[in-house]
Structure 1
């Protein structure tokens, strides 16, 4: 009977959830359950209890599918290992020598000795060691582990500070890793298994900069990754909520716009629709739904607005480059791990973009509207990159709020007819000119016929 019922269910049907919320939260389990409910309804998550800080590895299930196997190298460092998970790999030995140089440079830039830096990191080394999976740091004494953390942290902070500003020393350092090796550091810094606890970075960052200046350094680097430029788009308080676990978590918070529209928080929501895809960019345009770039003041990365006879799908501007695929995959992997924020904001964004970008014309439309910037070889490479992403789960509330807005616009007969009329007859300058010429001929013929038939006085 159950099998028969499931076979009759169509994609358009709703799966109903009735979730009682009257029971008070008295323990950690109920707190986690309430957070899941809040996630479904679009409310703020991760505030009801303190999460366990663990430096997770890529979930094995992500690597079992065909796409997962093809993408497996995107989770492994290409140039530099950070933390214990990939430490002492022979292929990454050259970067270990380079870390000694960056250690001396960072020490010199702070005006403190290396011993002072070592002692400051040693004060938090116990907390840092606890962040890693049990057994992964057993082979390192406190002294060895502290040295690893110090060298890795100085390497990261020096790169973050100098890269967006085009610092002369950054480009001179190409001689140590080579141009192609140095270009891959941005990628390696944001791999899930290549992280060090932020508590270590924070100690050294605070030593060199006051808090506001330190946040500005992080802002510039994240802005460089997001928009492909040094110019600041908007000041964001990257450390506003709580100390992040690691750099990848902090970048994820920067990538998404954490504030959500108030109307979404209070809207009644007791169903989850199946994970159906959006139409592509060109299909949406044919329905008179246009993609627009969000303003610098916007607090939302994705938003749909419906007007009289058309709609606007607002998207934040992003830059795509050769290392974008690896960074996106690692942010997805981070969201799939236990004890991580379960709002799935990055996964949802990438799932939406996968639906929007199906062909070269879709990429060109995004480029034309200044939503997408890319430095890949061709527009087809962008299509291929998004096709290679595998997104196991999304935030259904966010995903369906966008999709339902589009569907509601399409269900309006008046708006659909207007959109079809404009698309068919005014979709391009040539169509518009042809329509005007045809209209002029029709009017002229009518006038001539009327004049011929009208009796003269």
Structure 2
């Protein structure tokens, strides 16, 4: 049967979209990632299933990845199901029973009340782990694991923060060397306890929900002392685990995820310039390193320690008239810092976890700045880098062995462009060379003035030797000097 249609008839064909929700979800996911990378705080987040991921396998490949493998695995204590029942960590399992009893006594609660309180969140805690990793534990066994591990972590944090003598129990059961590795183990990506468990136990022990002891403990890790930074730790955050909470405090974020270091007006102007550049999508050009601390100093860029972290800026660069200033926040580096940095970077590399790669960007900047022990010395002298690794060469080695596969190109490129623009200005670099070479110390300044005076007098001697004064000029000069000596100003009329 054939049907004829006139040219005036409208033909309307509707194709039903069977996946409108999926497309909408994908756009939301992409938008969320872009907003985080550009440094904005997202108010409406895509509801994804966030879990405690394991270390991405790609981080363990290669020469450096193989050497760093041990920094992702616990040395003394296992927390959670991922490394549970390891025979080399059995000593800590016995010590967990001691810390459980000590924490119960401090809470002034019965063991049953602690168990029941944690059991209220056991379902949410189980969902935080990768599917299948908790199948061998029923609710009772899993709840006991969460209770023991949570009390162990919080007992250690409280003893460090309050400088409690009970901290010596670690030496008794784990030894001095084991005690030194506990702070490292509680920040491993695969060794985390869901924060919902820790929050329940903190509320039972502290009226402020643990705000004060967490602040002191994090300040101890960041600065080597208990109280420096006044910003609160929790601020109604809902972190997935302790590592995420510490990361947000380390980079001075008012929320747990996704706020970068430049204000909106600066970002709009800078991004507009960058987006129009040829290297906008050239990853190699935008990701290239810049000069080290000593090389920047030779170009007139001096490092400066900033104690004000209220602006949420870890690194700031200012190009002045004749010099530049690179402001860096003060950080303490210890034997545990490498493991903590690597695991924060591993957390940022995990899927389903939009963030702005702030820690990775910070490490990449430090890798560029620190390539020689003189760079570490310069940072030490300016009170920017405090380390307990013995030699400065160990700090250089630590940063060299830390891989930061991805960085926030918006932030890193802005900093790099500002430094390169300053270094390419001949006037500023010449002025910096003059200051560095001849005015870097009082003795060099005096030597320059003396040399200038000698040069000037030599010039006068040479000039007058070639063109001597007339014979009668000496008498005129003498008369002029006598007048100056005997000159008396006229007294004003009465």
TM-score norm. by structure 2 comes to: 0.84
Corresponding position of 1:214: 210
How big is the shift at 1:64?
A: 0.7
How big is the shift at 1:118?
A: 0.4
Indicate if the aligned counterparts of 2:317 and 2:324 stay in contact, CA closer than 8 A.
yes
Corresponding position of 2:51: 54
Q: How does 1:74-85 map to 2 (within 5 A)?
A: 74-85=71-82
Tell me the secondary structure at the aligned position of residue 163 of structure 1.
helix
How big is the shift at 1:433?
A: 4.2
1:180-232 Cα deviation digits (max 9, x unpaired):
10111000010000001000000010111123x611111100000000112x1
Choose which of 224, 249, 263 in structure 1 pairs with 2:244.
249
Matched, 1:92 2:89: yes
**Relative contact order, CA 8 A, sep 6+: which one is greater?**
1
Indicate if the aligned counterparts of 2:304 and 2:326 stay in contact, CA closer than 8 A.
yes
How big is the shift at 1:281?
A: 0.4
Choose which of 286, 304, 317 in structure 1 pairs with 2:298.
286
Tell me the secondary structure at the aligned position of residue 90 of structure 2.
helix
- What is the CA–CA distance in structure 1 between the aligned matches of 2:206 and 2:163, rounded to whole Å? 19
Indicate if the aligned counterparts of 1:162 and 1:170 stay in contact, CA closer than 8 A.
yes
Corresponding position of 1:187: 184
Choose which of 411, 415, 419 in structure 2 pairs with 1:402.
415
- What is the CA–CA distance in structure 2 between the aligned matches of 1:429 and 1:249, rounded to whole Å? 49
How big is the shift at 1:450?
A: 4.3
Indicate if the aligned counterparts of 1:51 and 1:339 stay in contact, CA closer than 8 A.
yes
Tell me the secondary structure at the aligned position of residue 319 of structure 1.
strand
Choose which of 158, 163, 176 in structure 2 pairs with 1:166.
163
User: Greater shift after overlay, 295-304 or 121-130?
Assistant: 295-304
Matched, 1:125 2:153: no
Q: How does 1:359-438 map to 2 (within 5 A)?
A: 359-428=372-441, 431-438=444-451
Matched, 1:440 2:453: yes
- What is the CA–CA distance in structure 1 between the aligned matches of 2:287 and 2:399, rounded to whole Å? 17
How big is the shift at 1:426?
A: 3.0
Q: How many residues are aligned here?
A: 431
- What is the CA–CA distance in structure 2 between the aligned matches of 1:264 and 1:280, rounded to whole Å? 26
- What is the CA–CA distance in structure 2 between the aligned matches of 1:305 and 1:101, rounded to whole Å? 53
Corresponding position of 1:237: 232
Choose which of 140, 143, 154 in structure 1 pairs with 2:140.
143
- What is the CA–CA distance in structure 1 between the aligned matches of 2:76 and 2:100, rounded to whole Å? 17
Matched, 1:306 2:319: yes
- What is the CA–CA distance in structure 2 between the aligned matches of 1:265 and 1:210, rounded to whole Å? 40
Indicate if the aligned counterparts of 1:67 and 1:390 stay in contact, CA closer than 8 A.
yes
Tell me the secondary structure at the aligned position of residue 210 of structure 2.
helix
Indicate if the aligned counterparts of 1:78 and 1:92 stay in contact, CA closer than 8 A.
yes
How big is the shift at 1:418?
A: 1.0
Corresponding position of 1:326: 339
- What is the CA–CA distance in structure 2 between the aligned matches of 1:285 and 1:210, rounded to whole Å? 49
Tell me the secondary structure at the aligned position of residue 321 of structure 2.
coil
TM-score norm. by structure 1 comes to: 0.90
How big is the shift at 1:35?
A: 2.1
Indicate if the aligned counterparts of 2:91 and 2:174 stay in contact, CA closer than 8 A.
yes
- What is the CA–CA distance in structure 1 between the aligned matches of 2:383 and 2:392, rounded to whole Å? 14
- What is the CA–CA distance in structure 1 between the aligned matches of 2:406 and 2:269, rounded to whole Å? 22
How big is the shift at 1:110?
A: 0.7
Indicate if the aligned counterparts of 2:39 and 2:262 stay in contact, CA closer than 8 A.
no
- What is the CA–CA distance in structure 2 between the aligned matches of 1:58 and 1:70, rounded to whole Å? 14
Tell me the secondary structure at the aligned position of residue 178 of structure 1.
helix
Tell me the secondary structure at the aligned position of residue 173 of structure 1.
helix
- What is the CA–CA distance in structure 2 between the aligned matches of 1:183 and 1:133, rounded to whole Å? 29
